Structures are given as C-alpha cells and as structure tokens.
Amino acid sequence: MLFYNDSKGKFEPIQQLEAFQFQTESEMHQFIENLPNISALDMILLMNPSTPPREPLSFLM
C-alpha cells in the first residue's frame, strides 16, 4: 500500500501484502483452483498481515 507524501512529492510504502504460504503442494493447488471464487473482501482479509489467519480457511478448500 502506498501513501503520497505531499511534502516529499513522492509515494512511500506504508504497508506490504502478506505472501501466501502452504504446507503442501496439494494445498497450494486447492487455493489456486478456488481463487476465482474468492470474494475481494476475503482476498483483502487473506492479504492483510495485521490480522492473523483463522484456522482453517474453509472457504478456500
């Protein structure tokens, strides 16, 4: 996420997105297959590092 700093006249990063990590290759493939069905809100929640993931993410399976 970028923020435009008027005083410096440039964009500065204020938050980075979480990288997805999977325990198994099968879990990764399941995630990829279900990706088109994930809502934008669910994707934002998955990518936001400030909130720990719930166990398990049933909408991904």
Contact 3, 11 (CB under 8 A): yes
Average confidence (pLDDT) over 31-51: 81
How sure is the predictor about 9, in pLDDT bands with cuts at 50, 70 and 90? very high
Mean of pLDDT over the chain: 79
Q: pLDDT value at position 50?
A: 61
Q: pLDDT value at position 11?
A: 92
Q: pLDDT value at position 33?
A: 92
How sure is the predictor about 20, in pLDDT bands with cuts at 50, 70 and 90? confident
